[in-house]
Copies of this chain bind each other. A is one copy, B any other.
Amino acid sequence: MADPRFFTCRGPLSIARICELTGATAAPLADGNLLIEDVAPLAMATSGHLSFLDNTKYLTDLGTSEAGFCLLRAEHTDKAPKGMILLVSDNPYKAYALAAQAFYDQGGTGGNISPGAFVDSSAEVGNNVRIDAGAVVGPGVVIGSDCVIGAGASVSHCLIGNNVRIYPGVRIGQDGFGFAPDPAGHVKVPQLGRVIVEDNVEIGANTCIDRGAGPDTIIGAGTWIDNLVQIGHNVVLGKGCIIVAQVGISGSTKLGDFVVVGGQVGIAGHVSIGTGAQIAAKSGIIGNIEAGAVVGGYPAQPLRDWHRQSVMLARMVKDRKSGK
């Protein structure tokens, strides 16, 4: 059970209700009125708990789990212990997400502006927005409804849509790294754009998003950004992108929709990444990437070629060691 100091469980909920919310199908003989008390991971769950299996690395946990209920794919039902009530879903992770949301309030926005927050009197803040202690909202900023601005975050020179979650320590809207290099003293280029954050965006802790230099920096609707990410000035992210922790995207680069960028990737400035492209963790991108491409390495290449290269190098080193 989640620690009641931090979380409040709204269970029990019936199997029928969970199936309705998640689209899962209960095993034929299961009684839809049976009550599920709570959710828990396979390794920690007991008889009243609903768990899930998605990543097959955890198949062993399934076999030994004491969970009373489990969301999983049809192909894994025969790996479950006898007596476990199985709720079959094509997407057990998404189904678990929806079930867990039913059991636990997601930390509602609550419409509470902390007395420890600093909100400029010229900022416009929508309905049901939570602003935590230490957060700083600058002059002229517009924040839509149902947003959270986390502890110690600072936002300036930006327009923020609805249902946006800005995590603690995020920095939005400061000057980009824009200057004409000069041995007599770098000459600052005034940064005259804004940051536009569209609806349903999440921005992880201590991530930095610089405002545009002239055009705006834009974070497309439904895009999720992890912690400690750097987004340079004029960058445009499409809709539904996933940007993993510690990625750096240089100025004026544009990502299409649904691009997935692995952790610690670096992307050069002024390049375009096509819709649906996927970039392996730690890659370095120095040119345009086509829509749908799956790439890795530095400079990035098709992921398969990059793997081949790694295997080839390992073999060559082995051959040299053995004197071939």
Report A's interface with B, CB cutoff 8 A: 2-3, 5-7, 39-41, 43-44, 55, 57, 91, 93-94, 96-98, 100-101, 103-104, 106-107, 114, 116, 118, 122, 132-136, 138-140, 150-154, 156-157, 167-169, 171, 174-175, 177, 179-183, 185-190, 192-194, 200, 204-206, 208, 210, 213-215, 222, 224, 226-228, 230, 232, 240, 242, 244-246, 248, 250, 258, 260, 263-264, 266, 268, 270, 281-282, 284, 298-299, 301, 305, 308-310, 312-314, 316-318, 320-321
Q: Is the CB of B232 within 8 A of A245?
A: yes
Distance of A42 Cα from B156 Cα, bound (Å):
25
Distance of A97 Cα from B180 Cα, bound (Å):
7
Most buried by B among A215, A270, A298: A298
- Beyond contacts A6-B139, A264-B266, A266-B282: 11 other A-B pairs, Cβ-Cβ < 8 A, are A2-B193, A43-B215, A93-B189, A118-B133, A167-B174, A169-B169, A171-B205, A177-B244, A227-B230, A228-B248, A313-B313
A310: B residues at CB distance < 8 A: 299
User: Which of B100, B187, B227 sits near A97, CB closer than 8 Å?
Assistant: B187
Q: Is the CB of A264 within 8 A of B244?
A: no
CB distance from A150 to the nearest CB of B (A): 7
Distance of A114 Cα from B309 Cα, bound (Å):
55
Distance of A218 Cα from B307 Cα, bound (Å):
33
CB distance from A214 to the nearest CB of B (A): 4
A to B CB contacts below 8 Å, 11 in the list:
A2-B192, A97-B187, A97-B189, A107-B175, A118-B133, A167-B174, A169-B169, A177-B204, A186-B240, A227-B230, A228-B248
User: Which of B91, B138, B185, B240 sits near A222, CB closer than 8 Å?
Assistant: B185
Q: Is the CB of A186 within 8 A of B222?
A: yes
Query: Which label, helix, strand, loop or mixed, suits the secondary structure of the A interface?
Result: loop
A301: B residues at CB distance < 8 A: 314
Distance of A182 Cα from B23 Cα, bound (Å):
15
Residue of B nearest to A316 (CB): B312
Q: Is the CB of B97 within 8 A of A188?
A: yes
Distance of A169 Cα from B246 Cα, bound (Å):
16
A57: B residues at CB distance < 8 A: 270
A282: B residues at CB distance < 8 A: 266, 284, 298
Q: Is the CB of B154 within 8 A of A134?
A: yes
Residue of B nearest to A142 (CB): B5
Most buried by B among A139, A167, A264, A321: A264
Q: Is the CB of B317 within 8 A of A179?
A: no
Q: Is the CB of B298 within 8 A of A189?
A: no
A308: B residues at CB distance < 8 A: 317, 320-321
Distance of A134 Cα from B94 Cα, bound (Å):
37
Q: Is the CB of A133 within 8 A of B136?
A: yes
Q: A150-B154, A194-B6, A266-B281 are in contact. Are A44 and B187 (CB under 8 A)?
A: no
